[in-house]
Amino acid sequence: MQAAPGNHSPRGAVRAAVLPAVGEPLRLTVIELPEPGPGQVRVRLAAAGVCHSDLSLSNGTLAQPVPAVLGHEGAGTVTAVGAGVTAVSPGQRVVLNWAPSCGSCAFCGMGEPWLCAHADAANTRPYARGEDGTELFPGLTVAAFAEETVVPERAVLPLPDGIPLTDAALLGCAVLTGYGAVHHSARVRPGESVVVMGVGGVGLAVIQSARIAGAGRIIAVDISEAKEELARSAGATDFVVASGQTSRQIRKMTGGLGADVAVECAGRAETIRAAWSSTRRGGRTTVVGIGGKDQIVSFSALEIFYTARTLTGCVYGNSDPAADLPVLAGHVQAGRLDLSALVTDHIGLDGIPDAFAAMQQGRGGRALIVYDAGA
């Protein structure tokens, strides 16, 4: 094992927010991380975003072995590497990848690493221990709600120079997902109109990405009127407060046709249906939001034929993180992509419950945990 020089031990206790069981409050405690084993990397976190998927893991909407350390959107500095690691070295700045592809399954072989059959393999294996010796699982591989973490080598991506480490955390989920939804899934073309349903962290990334793609009109939709300023600062040309008339309102705004593209970021049946109905005949509807299995969306056979729309699910932006991260870094360095504009709150580990509550109430954009050691 190689370790970075300085006072950071390759083994030791770190603070973390632990989910004891599904539905229970997070508990701030100290956990014990092991030395990185073969093919593993230890990272000192600079920052971690609080994503809606973390809330879904905590309440059981998404499955996760527990007790677990959640958090899957983060960036930091490598402090030690295990035997056989060649992609990174101690002292290197990295972005964490919560869905590392194996490179050898059928989906990876088809060039679809975002669907990798083994991307969640690390989630089911304990990676650390609590103070009482209880084995802990890493939420979505990364376990970023802790000062440090140990992850597989494939779960770290070297961060290009010129990007603040704290801002870079957003690249690990919100930005890769939002950018990919626009450029890989919906394939927005210059001049097209785009509707964005849900102005949270991912929605704001979708808006910025649609602007980068040259969209002619970007209509942001949210239940909270207070998000209009956020949406417009990201590049939205119009803002609509969600209601039962949203689809009709958007069609009226687009000459009666509907938008060329709609991107749904909330993961609810009613917003998926509204996104579909807001899209013109022959248009594209992309669903990014992760909903529960009880969220049922219905379409008639006639409307599917008549509207000739496409409805597409989008996992992690249909992105290949290793290929897309340098592209995103280029946009950041050129000033086209503003990572800091996605963040509405800077918090500590103890602020996660309030961030979860804000999500449930439809408030804010992205809350960012900033660790003292990572700046």
188: domain CATH number?
Answer: 3.40.50.720
Alpha-carbon distances of 341 from 93, 167, 179, 201, 230, rounded to whole Å: 22, 10, 15, 9, 8
Flag whether 326 is in a domain: no
On the question of pLDDT at 224 being above 60, the answer is yes
pLDDT score for 362: 79
Do residues 353 and 288 share a domain?
no
| Side-chain-facing half-sphere of 79: CA atoms under 13 Å | 25
On the question of pLDDT at 237 being above 90, the answer is yes
Q: Which residues pair with 279 in a beta bridge?
A: 259
Do residues 26 and 128 share a domain?
yes
On the question of pLDDT at 178 being above 60, the answer is yes
On the question of pLDDT at 176 being above 80, the answer is yes
pLDDT score for 136: 98
Do residues 226 and 133 share a domain?
no
Using pLDDT thresholds of 50, 70 and 90, give the confidence band for residue 365: confident
| Side-chain-facing half-sphere of 352: CA atoms under 13 Å | 28
On the question of pLDDT at 90 being above 90, the answer is yes
Note down the domain range covering 48: 2-159+338-370
Query: Maximum distance among all alpha carbons in the chain?
Result: 67
Do residues 147 and 182 share a domain?
no
- CB of 181 within 8 A of CB of 314? yes
d(CA 226, CA 355): 17
On the question of pLDDT at 375 being above 50, the answer is no
DSSP H helices, the chain, are 52-59, 106-109, 165-168, 174-180, 201-212, 228-234, 246-253, 269-278, 301-307, 321-333, 352-360
Token pair 């527990």 is at which residue?
66
Do residues 48 and 149 share a domain?
yes
H and E: helices and strands count for the chain: 11, 19
For 242-288, the pLDDT digits (tens) are 999 999 999 999 999 999 999 999 999 999 999 999 999 999 999 99
On the question of pLDDT at 9 being above 70, the answer is no
On the question of pLDDT at 80 being above 60, the answer is yes
d(CA 364, CA 360): 10
On the question of pLDDT at 161 being above 80, the answer is yes
Flag whether 77 is in a domain: yes
Flag whether 320 is in a domain: no
| Side-chain-facing half-sphere of 48: CA atoms under 13 Å | 36
On the question of pLDDT at 107 being above 70, the answer is yes
On the question of pLDDT at 61 being above 80, the answer is yes
Flag whether 237 is in a domain: yes
pLDDT score for 11: 54
Do residues 270 and 201 share a domain?
yes
Do residues 233 and 98 share a domain?
no
User: Which two tokens mark 127?
Assistant: 């990676």
pLDDT score for 359: 87
Share of the chain above pLDDT 70, in %: 96
In the predicted model, what is the mean pLDDT of the chain?
A: 93
Give Cβ neighbours of residue 98 (< 8 Å, ≥ 6 apart): 72, 73, 140, 141, 142, 155, 172, 173, 316
Do residues 266 and 209 share a domain?
yes
Q: Dihedral (C-alpha) 321, 327, 330, 332: value to the nearest 10 degrees?
A: -50
Do residues 260 and 184 share a domain?
yes
On the question of pLDDT at 210 being above 90, the answer is yes
Flag whether 164 is in a domain: no
- Looking at the 3D structure of the chain, how many domains does it have? 2
Flag whether 321 is in a domain: no
Q: Please report how the helices 246-253 and 269-278 are oriented relative to each other, as an axis angle in degrees rounded to 10.
A: 20
For 222-249, what is the mean pLDDT? Answer: 96
Give Cβ neighbours of residue 24 (< 8 Å, ≥ 6 apart): none
pLDDT score for 2: 60
Do residues 201 and 139 share a domain?
no
Do residues 351 and 304 share a domain?
no
Flag whether 82 is in a domain: yes
Q: What is the CATH number of the domain that holds 152?
A: 3.90.180.10
Token pair 């785009």 is at which residue?
194
On the question of pLDDT at 86 being above 80, the answer is yes
Do residues 59 and 151 share a domain?
yes
Token pair 């592809």 is at which residue?
101
- CB of 342 within 8 A of CB of 169? no
d(CA 81, CA 94): 13
Using pLDDT thresholds of 50, 70 and 90, give the confidence band for residue 8: very low
pLDDT score for 10: 42
For 181-191, the pLDDT digits (tens) are 999 999 999 99
d(CA 111, CA 133): 41
| DSSP per position, 114-159 | GG-TTTTGGGGS--EEETT--EEEEGGGT--SBSEEEEEGGGEEEP
Per the model's pLDDT, the better-predicted residue between 68 and 360 turns out to be 68
Flag whether 172 is in a domain: no
For 330-351, the pLDDT digits (tens) are 999 999 999 999 999 999 999 9
